[in-house]
C-alpha cells in the first residue's frame, strides 16, 4: 500500500513536512540499515536528482516542491555517518612506521681505519726505539745482562768489551776459569801484585779484588786444598752467626752455577765489622770443586742490600 505523505520530525536536527516515501513494493526488501552496503542508499535514486543527472553527475535544475535540497553528485566523495558509520571513509595510503636508514658510506669507515693505522705506526715507532735504547743490554736492576758463555768481544758494547780485555790479564789458571763469566761486568780489578792491590793472607797464593756496583768480589787461590778448607770452616761459623745478624741465610750446600760448567761448595755468611761503624756484612762463598780456587762476594746487609739476600743470590746465579 502506498502512502501519500507523512509528517515526521528529525530529533535534534530539522523538521521536514510532506516527505515522500517509497512504498514497500518498490524496495528490494524491508528497510534495514544492515541490509545495505555502506555505500548504498535507501532508494535506487537520490531525491531531487533526475535520472539523467544521476548518470552524468549533474544537479537537477529545480528541486521538486516539498523535496529536500538536491543531493550531492554521485561522483562526489561520501561523508562518514557519525551516527551509524555507514558512510564511506577514505583510507590513507600505507606508509612504513619506521623510515629505513640510508645505507652507510663504506668509504668513510675505510678512510678512518687507514688514518688510525697510520697514526699508530707513527706513535709506536719512536716509542719502541726509545724503549729499546734504554733497555738493550740492560738487566732488571739497571746493569748490563751478560750473554751466556760470552768470551769474545764481538757481541759486547764497547765499554764491556774493554773491561773484558783489561780484567782478563788479572786472572790465570783456575781463577781465570772461575772468573770467566764475570769479566765484562766487573770493574777496578786489582791483583795482589798490583800497586795498591789487596794483600795476601795466610795460606793464600793469589788474590784479585774487583767491584760490581756496590758489591766487592774476591777471587782467591789457596796454596793447597787444606788451606782452602780451613778458610771455608771459618765461613761456616759465620753462616751460623748469620741467623742472628742477617736472618734468612741458607745453610751450606753443594751447587752448580747457572752455566753448569762449575760445581762447588756454596754457603751464605755474615759478620759484624770491627771498625767504628759496626756495619753487618753478608756474603756468598762458592768454590770450584777439587781445586783450591774460590770466589766470595760481600756487601753491607742494610746499607747496600736493603736487608735482603735476594740481590746477592741474583748476582751469583747470573754470573756463574
Radius of gyration of the chain (CA): 57
Is residue 101 included in any domain, yes or no?
Answer: no
Complete edge-to-edge strand list for the sheet that includes strand 280-287: 187-191, 204-212, 215-222, 293-300, 280-287, 263-272, 253-256
Quote the CA–CA distance of 114 and 134 in Å, as a whole number: 31
Domain boundary among 68, 88, 108: 88
Contacts for 234 with CB less than 8 Å, ≥ 6 apart: none
Residue 314 covered by a domain: yes
Which string of b and e fits 258-269 if b means at least 16 CB within 10 Å?
eeeebebbbbbb
Task: List, for residues 76-106, the tens digit of each pLDDT value.
Answer: 444 444 444 444 455 555 555 566 666 555 5
Partners of 269 in the beta sheet?
283
Q: Hey, what's the cell of 105?
A: 658510506
Q: Which of 10, 71, 9 is nearest to 42 (CA)?
A: 71
Q: Is the pLDDT of residue 117 over 50?
A: yes
Per residue in 32-85, pLDDT (tens digit) is: 444 444 444 444 444 444 444 444 444 444 555 555 455 444 444 444 444 444
Lookup: cell for 156 = 759486547
* 162 and 82 share one domain: no
> Would the pLDDT of 25 be above 90?
no
How far apart (Å, rounded) are the C-alpha atoms in residues 46 and 54? 8
- 176 closest CA partner among 162, 189, 160: 189
pTM comes to 0.54
pLDDT at 275: 81
Check whether residue 162 and residue 33 sit in a common domain.
no
Give the total number of structural domains in the chain: 2
Residues 171 and 69 in one domain: no
pLDDT at 1 over 60: no
Residue 75 contacts residue 53 (beta carbons within 8 Å): no
Amino acid at each position: 500500500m502506498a502512502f501519500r505523505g507523512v509528517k515526521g520530525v528529525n530529533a535534534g536536527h530539522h523538521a521536514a513536512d510532506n516527505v515522500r516515501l517509497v512504498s514497500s513494493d518498490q524496495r528490494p526488501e524491508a528497510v534495514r540499515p544492515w541490509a545495505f552496503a555502506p555505500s548504498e542508499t535507501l532508494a535506487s535514486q537520490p531525491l531531487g536528482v533526475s535520472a539523467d543527472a544521476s548518470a552524468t553527475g549533474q544537479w537537477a535544475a529545480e528541486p521538486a516542491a516539498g523535496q529536500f535540497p538536491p543531493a550531492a553528485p554521485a561522483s562526489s566523495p561520501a561523508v562518514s555517518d557519525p551516527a551509524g558509520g555507514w558512510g564511506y571513509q577514505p583510507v590513507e595510503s600505507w606508509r612504513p612506521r619506521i623510515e629505513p636508514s640510508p645505507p652507510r658510506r663504506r668509504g668513510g669507515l675505510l678512510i678512518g681505519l687507514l688514518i688510525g693505522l697510520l697514526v699508530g705506526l707513527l706513535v709506536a715507532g719512536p716509542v719502541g726505539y726509545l724503549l729499546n735504547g734504554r733497555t738493550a743490554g740492560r738487566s732488571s736492576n739497571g746493569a748490563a745482562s751478560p750473554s751466556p758463555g760470552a768470551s769474545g768481544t764481538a757481541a759486547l758494547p764497547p765499554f764491556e768489551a774493554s773491561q773484558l780485555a783489561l780484567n782478563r790479564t788479572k786472572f790465570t789458571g783456575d781463577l781465570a776459569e772461575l772468573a770467566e763469566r764475570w769479566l765484562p761486568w766487573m770493574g777496578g780489578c786489582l791483583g795482589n801484585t798490583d800497586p795498591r792491590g789487596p794483600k795476601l793472607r795466610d795460606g793464600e797464593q793469589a788474590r784479585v779484588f774487583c767491584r760490581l756496583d756496590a758489591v766487592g768480589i774476591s777471587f782467591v787461590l789457596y796454596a793447597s786444598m787444606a788451606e782452602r778448607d780451613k778458610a771455608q770452616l771459618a765461613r761456616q761459623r759465620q753462616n751460623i752467626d748469620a741467623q742472628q745478624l742477617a736472618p734468612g741465610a741458607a745453610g751450606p750446600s753443594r751447587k752448580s752455577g747457572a752455566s753448569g760448567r762449575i760445581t762447588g761448595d756454596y754457603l751464605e755468611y755474615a759478620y759484624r765489622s770491627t771498625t767504628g761503624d759496626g756495619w753487618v756484612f753478608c756474603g756468598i762463598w762458592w768454590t770450584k770443586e777439587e781445586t783450591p780456587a774460590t770466589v766470595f762476594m760481600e756487601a753491607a746487609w742494610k746499607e747496600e742490600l736493603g736487608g735482603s739476600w735476594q740481590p746477592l743470590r741474583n748476582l751469583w746465579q747470573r754470573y756463574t
